[in-house]
Amino acid sequence: MYLLDTCTFIWSVQNASKLSQKAKEILAGNDPVYVSKATFWEIAVKKTTGKLNIRQNTFELEEICLEEDIYILPLKLRYFERIQKMPLIHRDPFDRIIIASAIEEGYTLLTSDEIIPQYDDVKTLW
């Protein structure tokens, strides 16, 4: 099972050319793929602050997930507990909750972020 980080999710929606070949294969395959509710939160915050220009609103992004068989992963309290045990390698709160989610669920995180693989407990793929 796979969890998309925010950039991977946005690229899958907007600009597939930025995705790695492996990410494209996984998204086209039969393995379950998830996106965290934290990703929707991050997109909303970054759209509000002008740091992200994506035309789809939250509801449209949810529809895309339904159409593309991408499951939305809810936030669970154990993810917040995991964050407290993680070293401060990555300081972005959105990335930290997504990393913690992947660790807790045992999912492989699809990410191009070169900092995330520095965490011992997270499996990443790009």
Which string of DSSP letters, residue by residue, matches 95-111?
HHHHHHHHHHHTPEEE-
- For residues 100-105, average pLDDT: 98
- For residues 45-64, average pLDDT: 95
Is 45 in a helix, a strand, or coil? helix
| CATH number of residue 9's parent domain | 3.40.50.1010
Contacts of 123 (CB under 8 A, 6+ apart): 102, 107, 108, 109
What's the domain count of the chain? 1
Amino acid (1-letter code) at residue 90 = H
- For residues 56-83, average pLDDT: 97
Global confidence as pTM: 0.94
- For residues 48-72, average pLDDT: 95
Structural domain boundaries enclosing 73: 2-125
Mean pLDDT of the chain: 96
**Percent of the chain topping pLDDT 70:** 99
- For residues 87-108, average pLDDT: 96
| Structure-token pair, residue 49 | 């602050």
The pLDDT of residue 3 is: 98
23 pLDDT more than 90: yes
